Amino acid sequence: MQVFTEEQQLMINIAKEFVQEKLVPQIPDIEEGNFPANLIDELQDLGFINMMLPEEYGGLEEKMVTHMAIVEEFAKENLTTAIVCNSNMISSLLIDFASDEQKKLFFPKYSEDKHMAGLGFTEPTAGSDAAGIQTTAVKDGDDWILNGQKTFVSYLNQCSAFLVSARTNETDEGGISTFLVEKDLPGVEVGSIFKKIGMHGSETGELFFKNVRVPAIYLIGTENWGLPLVLKVLDEARLAVAMCGVGIAQGALDKAVAYVKEREQFGRKISSFQGIKWYIAEMESEIAAARALVYDVANDYDNKKFITKGAAMAKWFASEVAMRVTEKAVQMCGGMGLVEDFGLERYFRDAKVLSITEGTSEILKIVIAREKLR
């Protein structure tokens, strides 16, 4: 079991309180697609976004394990908000790859001024194959000119910039670079927003670049070697998605347990039936195993170890657990499990997102096996 210091526990308790008092009443609005702007400000002010950043850049210098505990608390109630808390993955990338000049330019925006940055990697013809992109960036004096299209870009409504991968060289072995592209640059256009199964609080859709002039200082990392940077972002994102799976599963189980302790059939509480007890035992055990795996990898991260295999294992396992647990939780609640106002069907819908976004379960298994076979 993960042990926390008194300070870390205090932070986790503040998150629990915030989730119940401030977040829960706003969930119906969030699910309608109206994510309150002041919620992001409050999350920033309390340190839930960018918590791992050094203090000089507006963070709390917290560990990954604390960040994971906070993500779980939010995911127990609302996936969209839990993933907002993870928007610090762009920031941690800037710590590792940005020059001092870039840090001075970007950090005031993405920490103090409460801007959020999202990810623009996926394209209509390049999903699992992140290297198969067609968006191009061509040098023009001190600038780059971007042309192309991204799709399935999340948080189009909340983000003011996106980390975008673009082809900068057709012949080099790498040939892909990453740029921080501000949404209000001329030529950046938001296209269709998809109606999707879950995560309704995030607008997910298309982003077009039509001769977008991006100053050279917005190229992050080394020209033509952006792919390792994309993969590093994905490692951290996968760990957070794994913890979202744990949180969704725990939230669904807790709601189902509260229901079966009250609901009576055949003159007895349905929690007294052995079939229901076995469900609960299996669900609780699977969640505990997934959580332990996430913390194991989070500790590796905090100890500066390589997490590619661990993050893929954690995300694959936890997102599949989330699917199994939410399906059973709905089953335990019978018809009520399907009713929107009851608040459980959303967990089932949201869980499905997790085994696809940031790398499908199939791709994660390829990564795990590849790392094991090295």
How far apart are the C-alpha atoms of 178 and 331, rounded to whole Å?
45
- Any contact of residue 191 with ligand FAD (CB under 6 A)? no
47 or 226, CB closer to ligand FAD?
Answer: 226
Q: Which residue has the tokens 């089953």?
A: 331
Name the minimum Å distance from CB 131 to ligand FAD: 12
| Residue with Cβ nearer ligand FAD (33 or 334) | 33
* Residue 320 C-beta: closest distance to ligand FAD, Å: 13
Question: Does 353 engage in binding with ligand FAD (CB under 6 A)?
Answer: yes
Does residue 357 touch ligand FAD according to CB under 6 A? yes
Within 13 Å of residue 324, how many CA atoms lie on the same side as its CB? 16
Q: Is 337 or 359 the residue whose CB approaches ligand FAD more closely?
A: 359
For ligand FAD, the closer CB: 144 or 152: 152
Catalytic residue among 6, 72, 358, 371: 358
Least distance to ligand FAD from the beta carbon of 199, Å? 5
- Which stretch in 138-146, 214-222, 320-328, 349-357 sits in contact with ligand FAD by CB under 6 A? 349-357
Of 78 and 154, the one with the shorter C-beta distance to ligand FAD is 154
Measured CA to CA, the distance from residue 122 to residue 113 in angstroms comes to 27
CB of 121 to ligand FAD, least distance (A): 3
Residue with smaller CB distance to ligand FAD, 15 or 71: 71
Cβ 119 to ligand FAD shortest distance, Å: 4
Interaction residues for ligand FAD, span 115-174 (CB under 6 A): 118-122, 127-128, 152-154
The window from 105-113, 259-267, 338-346, 355-363 that contacts ligand FAD (CB under 6 A) reads 355-363
Residues in 199-238 that interact with ligand FAD by CB under 6 A: 199, 204
Nearest approach, Cβ of residue 311 and ligand FAD (Å):
14
Among 137-145, 221-229, 317-325, 350-358, the segment contacting ligand FAD (CB under 6 A): 350-358
Residue 30 C-beta: closest distance to ligand FAD, Å: 15
Give which of 198, 162, 202, 155 is closest to 319, Cα–Cα: 198
Residue nearest to ligand FAD (CB): 127
Q: Which is nearer to ligand FAD, 291 or 352 (CB)?
A: 352
**32 carries an active-site annotation:** no
Q: What is the 3-state secondary structure (H, E, C) of the chain?
A: CCCCCHHHHHHHHHHHHHHHHHHHHHHHHHHCCCCCHHHHHHHHHCCCCCCCCCHHHCCCCCCHHHHHHHHHHHHCCCHHHHHHCCCHHHHHHHHHHCCHHHHHHHHHHHHHCCCCEEEECCECCECCCCCCCCCEEEEECCEEEEEEEEEEECCCCCCCEEEEEEECCCCCCCCEEEEEEECCCCCEEEEEECCCCCCCCCCCEEEEEEEEEEEHHHEECCCCECHHHHHHHHHHHHHHHHHHHHHHHHHHHHHHHHHHCCCEECCEEHHHCHHHHHHHHHHHHHHHHHHHHHHHHHHHHHCCCCCHHHHHHHHHHHHHHHHHHHHHHHHHCHHHHHCHHHCCHHHHHHHHHHCCCCCCHHHHHHHHHHHHHC
The residues carrying an active-site annotation are 358
Binding site for ligand FAD (CB under 6 A): 118-122, 127-128, 152-154, 196, 199, 204, 353, 356-360, 362-363
